[in-house]
Amino acid sequence: MRRVVVTGMGTVNPIGNSIPELDEALREGRSGGALITSFDVSESPVKIGCEVKGFDPESVLDRKSARRTSRFIHLAVGAAHEAVESSGLDIRAEGDRVGASIASGIGGMDMQLLAHEHYLTNGIDRFSPFWTPGIIPNMGAGYVSMEFGTQGPLASSSTACAASSMAIGDAVMYIRAGMADAMLAGGAECGVVPVGIGGFHGIRACSTRNDEPATASRPFDATRDGIVLGEAGSVLVLEELEHALRRDATILAEVTGYGLSSDARHVTEPDPTGENPARAITNALADAGRTTADVEYVNAHGTSTPVGDAAETRVLKRVFGERANEVPVSSTKSMTGHLLGATGATEAAICVLAINGGYLPPTINLHTPDPECDLDYVPNTAREQRIDVAISNGFGFGGHNACLVIERYEERRG
């Protein structure tokens, strides 16, 4: 089997507009939660979010393109620039051997809102020709491909909060199958918009802890009351191992396993038994040639919802059995907020940072124990520990379950 390694990473997210900034924030346990500033929330029951700050889309796109595109596209291209630059990969010299797999769970919610406002004022006349390509979720992938000239496989998962985990896993499969030698893989989302906040509040998923924005996202804590929506773009450069070695690339980690499953039961609620999400994890470990005994860190989906966090705890107990209390688990959404379609890629990058940095990212804001959530969640403070094998979980509305196995790169495995 062709081995797939990570040779570059990029991110724009609420706690860091670059990979080094993200690494520093994780070590410090820094929260991205704050009062929303991008629109008026004075009459909103939800006033908090995890917004990206200080990012200028014109730093990565020309002025016209930046004005004509949705924010999720800006974030995707911004992250891809850092990833490609850090990898040193000359994409245009590779012809059709480099592709892109960039996910978005929802797409251009900001431009959907503008289009609706235009319709209410003007009817169907004089719609901008840029609104449709700015709204559809696949255009994060499309713009990344156009920006860097990737001519290989071009894909875009839209599987809710599992989307960018699947984008990375699918990219691994393309490389393994010989369809590409390298892939730009990740996701982007802009959930902090009125329709995003309104929609998730409508299903009672959002935290309303408006007076405590920095501590509102509190996965696994007994007082958790819902997600804090965020926005981000994160991209990894994946390469076939021999291709990376031939160009003397710096190898950051290896993606060794990818597993999927479906709950097949409800539009939003997780499988209460944990059986189906657990199968995604065991499938990923089998794909990697690993067992549960090899896993040293779990980056949990951990959204800070009462139902979801308890359900994921049951999943991990089902997977790890008697060893469940020995495996460190953390939810970095406690810091970044819930990044929807960008969450899997951001958390995959976090796993790579943890492996290379020798630390466990914390679950911050965890102060009140919940009897239903009784694992080692690395509460509040990062912990030094060598990690060789990590897994990252991504669970999405509709029953989409995905898991990635990410490992320290070793010249020989087995």
Give catalytic residues, as residue numbers: 161, 301, 338
Residue 213 CB partners (closer than 8 Å, separation 6+): 33, 34, 35, 47, 48, 228
Instruction: State the angle between helix axes of 306-320 and 275-288 in degrees (0 to 180), rounded to the nearest 10.
Output: 50
Return the structure tokens found at 404: 């990635």
DSSP lists the bridge partners of residue 160 as none
| 4-12: strand order across its sheet | 154-155, 98-103, 182-190, 231-240, 4-12, 253-262, 400-407, 389-396, 297-299, 329-330
- Distances in whole angstroms, Cα of residue 78 to Cα of each of 63, 102, 147: 14, 13, 10
Interatomic CA distance for residues 230 and 52, integer angstroms: 8
Rg, Å, the chain Cα set: 20
Question: If you search the block for the tokens 């981000």, which residue do you land on?
Answer: 232
Give the distance between the most distant pair of CA atoms in the chain: 64
Residue 325 and residue 379: Cα distance in Å, rounded?
Answer: 14
CA 202 to chain centre: 23
Q: 182-190 and 231-240: which strand pairing?
A: antiparallel
What SS3 state is found at 408? coil
Burial class (CB in 10 A: 0-12, 13-18, 19+), 304: buried
219 neighbors 366 (Cβ within 8 angstroms): yes
Q: How far apart are CA 247 and CA 55, in angstroms?
A: 32
Sequence-separated contacts (24+) of 308-311 with Cβ below 8 Å: 308/270, 308/395, 309/219, 309/220, 309/224, 309/370, 309/373, 310/370, 310/372, 310/373, 311/270, 311/271, 311/272, 311/274, 311/277
